[in-house]
Amino acid sequence: MLTALTRAFRTPDLRKKLLFTLGIIVIFRLGSVLPTPGVNTENARKALEAAQSSELSSIYGMVQLFSGGALLKLSVFALGIMPYITASIILQLLTVVIPRLEALKKEGQAGTAKITQYTRYLTIGLAVLQSTAFVALARSGQLFGTSANDLPILLNDDIFTVVVMVVTMTAGTAVIMWLGELITDRGVGNGMSILIFTQIIAVFPSELMNIFRQKGAFTFTIVMIVGIFMIAAVVFVEQAQRRIPVQYAKRMVGRRMYGGTSTYIPLKVNQAGIIPVIFASSLLYLPQLLVTLFANSQESNVVVEWIAQNFGSGDTPIYMATFFLLIVFFTYFYVSITFNPVEVADNMKKYGGFIPGIRPGRPTAEYLNYVLTRLTAPGSLYLGLISMVPIFALTLAGATQNFPFGGTSILIMVGVGLDTVKQIESQLQQRNYEGFLR
């Protein structure tokens, strides 16, 4: 492992890529702690401490997680990658609904580039919306809940300061998007996921320390042991795949012989990755956001109260059930988007490949679909159960809502980590044949 790492650093272009990625990460973290001009940092810090000790801290848990603690500091990169993720989700869902987008997606590379461009525009739009919402909340003192009403978060209440802040945060989101693309383009791994990974890792040690301080050494040790087992389990399932054998027929093209090889199609148990979890939690975050926006109106609304009661925190039965069902649904949805059995079968037929014992064409597509559906069933249940873990931990061990080995953060850490290591390895293998994973 270590020798592989030194070898990675000894390879000139890989070293350049790794250092480039690290540099971007440093810039990204720097922007995440740099406060937006106009924020009273002293008061913001006090209000954050007050909010963390109260019940309300769980409301922003998800956003706080994705922004690495930057959001409640109201830093320049406060919005983090949330707008980009939301925009991607919206466009992914819209490709099913709007025929034009579907046509674009079928066009291949050019069409996908167009969709990416739309995603980028939408990201900026969402960034304007969200930054306005957050600055407005901060101005009226509701960002940290009711407990910290007396401390003004902004230095100056006039509209000009507010506009400057909104514009700065929007530009910050654009910069994050660019940084992510730079990593994808010139660094190692996928930029956006590496940035999410960074933010989660950044809050990780402080959350562990919180447990240590609040619950004592015994609970801390147990949490660590459980966490390590969970990481092992997640790695195990993430690597699990079913290999469907494919035999290619021999054929002559001119004087050369092609094919005649046997390979396999790897179908992962969890083909969808962690996207379903992100989809589901971003969706479930919406009612909470609505409640925060409407909660201060004087007359009590039945709907608002019901939402606040059932979706306000993550440990109500209705919330848990909805979360679980949404994850299962999105797993199937996302697998159906990313893996199209008919297309795969057609491609195989075109190049003279077939699955032994099954006729090419429609029967192959049906077979692939059958296997994939059955394979996704445990995959989706696994995703759902893993994301339930923090809630179980809440009831069993009395841990906090922001349990550091929470399902989402563990899935993201392991998923992105594995992916990045695999990519480094494939680059290493271009030079010599030993990588990290044997």
Partner 1 sequence: MTIGISIALILSSALMVLLVLLHKGKGGGLTDMFGGGFASSFGGSSVVERNLDRLTVITGVVWFVCIIALGLLLKP
36, 138 contact by CB (below 8 A): no
Each as own residue / partner, the long-range contacts of residues 89-93 (CB below 8 Å, 24 or more positions apart, any chain) are 89/278, 89/279, 89/282, 90/122, 91/115, 91/118, 91/119, 91/122, 92/334, 92/337
Largest separation between any pair of C-alpha atoms in the chain:
84
d(CA 380, CA 270): 7
**Helix, strand, coil % (nearest 5) of the chain?**
70, 5, 25
Distance in Å, CB of 308 to partner 1, minimum: 31
Note the helical H segments in 54-148.
61-66, 82-97, 99-106, 109-140
339, 419 contact by CB (below 8 A): no
Distance in Å, CB of 31 to partner 1, minimum: 8
The nearer residue to partner 1, 155 or 385, going by C-beta atoms, is: 155
The nearer residue to partner 1, 192 or 308, going by C-beta atoms, is: 192
Radius of gyration of the chain (CA): 24
The nearer residue to partner 1, 57 or 123, going by C-beta atoms, is: 123
d(CA 274, CA 409): 10
The nearer residue to partner 1, 141 or 180, going by C-beta atoms, is: 180
The nearer residue to partner 1, 181 or 346, going by C-beta atoms, is: 181
240, 272 contact by CB (below 8 A): no
Distance in Å, CB of 325 to partner 1, minimum: 21
Structure tokens at 7: 């070898």
Q: State whether the Cα torsion 175-80-182-106 is positive or negative.
A: negative
Residues that bind partner 1 (CB under 8 A): 34-38, 40, 42, 76, 84-85, 88-89, 91-92, 112-113, 115-117, 119-121, 124, 155-156, 160-161, 163-164, 167-168, 170-171, 174-175, 177-178, 180-181, 184-185, 190-193, 238, 268, 273-275, 338, 412, 415-416, 418-419, 423, 426
- The H-or-E segment that residue 257 falls in is strand 256-258
The nearer residue to partner 1, 355 or 412, going by C-beta atoms, is: 412
Distance in Å, CB of 412 to partner 1, minimum: 8
Distance in Å, CB of 301 to partner 1, minimum: 35
Distance in Å, CB of 419 to partner 1, minimum: 6
Residue 438: alpha-carbon gap to chain centroid: 27
The nearer residue to partner 1, 40 or 387, going by C-beta atoms, is: 40
Phi-psi label, residue 189: left if phi above 0, alpha if psi -120 to 50, beta otherwise: left
Distance in Å, CB of 117 to partner 1, minimum: 5
The nearer residue to partner 1, 27 or 371, going by C-beta atoms, is: 27
The nearer residue to partner 1, 79 or 291, going by C-beta atoms, is: 79
Distance in Å, CB of 36 to partner 1, minimum: 7
> For residue 42, what are the contacts with CB-CB under 8 A and spacing of at least 6?
none
Distance in Å, CB of 111 to partner 1, minimum: 12
Structure tokens at 5: 């790492």
Distance in Å, CB of 311 to partner 1, minimum: 25
The nearer residue to partner 1, 191 or 384, going by C-beta atoms, is: 191
User: Measuring CA to CA, which residue among 196, 88, 191, 180 is closest to residue 412?
Assistant: 196
d(CA 274, CA 280): 10
